[in-house]
Structure 1
Amino acid sequence: MNTELMDLILMASPVVQAVMVILALMSIAAWAVALAKSYQVTQATKQAQQFEQVFWQTPELTGLFNQMTQQAAQGGLPQSGMAAIFEAGFREFVRLKKQGVSNSSDLIAGAQRAMKITFSKNADHLENRLSLLATVGSSAPYIGLFGTVWGVMHAFQSLGNVQNATLAAVAPGISEALIATAIGLFAAIPAVIAYNRLSTRVERLLSEYENFAEGFLTILQRQAHALEQNNPINGQSNQG
């Protein structure tokens, strides 16, 4: 069966063979992206769970922030995901406090903006190349169908040179053409499944990031209100 399949591919017209090569490359690219993104999302989910556990078990966030800063200064890997969101928000919060800002609204707004920027960067990183899976899933069947239509046209044109047109004469050409559709479906189906699964996992992870950011902002808000109460003069001057 495999030998017959290879014979059909080798005997196909150059256009159909080119379509098959394109579909094969698209399938390889889709599988590579699917495996790489699956690993990336799995690692990001584990890191988020580990950091969230450490975060809620830490009584003093300043110590956690200083520890992360020291690790970065010692050449550690840059923070990503939930840890990066925390670091960006707390860094901006501390920077504003050092500048003398004690108004709670200003402190929270600054930290929120910093976290939003970091969240967007991480979301772009997680969603990067997912569009390739969607492209392969949506276009591969049509590319395969084009190869099939072209192959069928080529087969029927070849019949014009045959005096006795029989099923045995046209069947090989149609079989060659149908392989293109089969390869297109082979490339599209895994790509669609991978895209839907990875998109769901990324959305779930981003939702966890958002929930963490809201909880972290609640803590910062309590600290900001305490700072504002301890500095009523500065708070009133900032409001004015």
Structure 2
Amino acid sequence: MEPLAQAADAAHYDLSVLTLFLQADWVVKAVMIGLAFASVWCWAVIFNRAAVFAQTQRAIRRFEKSFASNPSFGVLEEQFATHRHGLAPIFAAGIAEWRQSMNEKAWATDGIRSRVSLVVELALTEESAALQRRLSVLATVGSAAPFIGLFGTVWGIMNAFTAIAASEDTSLAVVAPGIAEALFATALGLLAAIPAVIAYNKLSSDAARLTAQMESFADRYMALVSRKLDAGEVV
């Protein structure tokens, strides 16, 4: 067949996205569906983490502002009793341990200081882990999706060559659909992987920055607790 005739045959063949999916081999279809689901999942994680990080940053700013202007632990505890993000849980954990030590008459200053420091560190670890939650999804999709798409591409090309051999026809009308289906799987893999990698790097950096802010507060908080203990104050 002449080149112009081959091009005309290929042009008349429907290469729309829906057609490529419907006419693909079941293995390639499974790859396409999996990659599409992974892409949607990644975007859901991205929007969720972005919202959580913004909420946490606002909570940190509000608490730090109150903490800097009002040194009374009792007032701060009452003001932020219902807050579950940022610095409030860390502060509440330290106050709870201090109060429990006093209630149980464990009055040794060094003992209270070490126990409060321990629970503050544990609360900080929990808050940091909460920030990192679901980011592993982005890392996994970002690293695995291109290879999954490549597997679909290889499988589709194998089917295309099989069709060529069966039909004994190398015209574009025979080759183009199978090759297009195969390359579409690769495109879906990249479509899932690229946003996942970019978002993972950005969100990981944001999580590290928020964790650093909480660590800085924990140090200042423990310094103030130590000073109050040495001064004989109670909560």
What's the TM-score, normalizing by structure 1? 0.85
Letter in 1 for 2:65: Q
Question: RMSD of the TM alignment (CA)?
Answer: 2.0
Q: 1:24 aligns with which of 36, 50, 66?
A: 36
Structure 1 spans left out of the alignment, 5+ residues:
229-240
1:1-240, aligned counterparts within 5 Å?
4-68=16-80, 72=81, 77-227=82-232
Deviations 1:151-198 (A, max 9, x none): 000000111112342444322211110000000000110111111111
SS of the counterpart of 2:232? helix
Letter in 2 for 1:153: M
Structure-1 separation of matches of 2:198 and 2:79? 41
Contact 1:140 1:187 in 2 (8 A): yes
Deviations 1:106-137 (A, max 9, x none): 12111111112212222222111111111111
Q: CA distance change for structure 1 residues 102 and 227 in 2, over 3 Å: closer, same or farther? A: farther
Structure-2 separation of matches of 1:149 and 1:59? 65
Contact 1:93 1:107 in 2 (8 A): yes
Q: CA distance change for structure 1 residues 174 and 3 in 2, over 3 Å: closer, same or farther? A: closer
Q: CA distance change for structure 1 residues 165 and 97 in 2, over 3 Å: closer, same or farther? A: same
Identity value in percent: 40
Structure-2 separation of matches of 1:80 and 1:194? 22
Contact 1:20 1:183 in 2 (8 A): yes
Structure-2 separation of matches of 1:151 and 1:3? 15
State the shift of 1:67 in Å: 4.1
Contact 1:19 1:147 in 2 (8 A): yes
Contact 2:15 2:177 in 1 (8 A): no
Letter in 2 for 1:188: A
SS of the counterpart of 1:142? helix
State the shift of 1:150 in Å: 0.2
Q: CA distance change for structure 1 residues 3 and 147 in 2, over 3 Å: closer, same or farther? A: closer
- 2:6 corresponds to: none
Q: Could you list the runs of 4 or more consecutive aligned residues of structure 1 that deviate by over 4 angstroms after TM superposition?
A: none
Contact 1:102 1:224 in 2 (8 A): no
Structure 2 spans left out of the alignment, 5+ residues:
1-10
Structure-1 separation of matches of 2:186 and 2:20? 14
What's the TM-score, normalizing by structure 2? 0.87
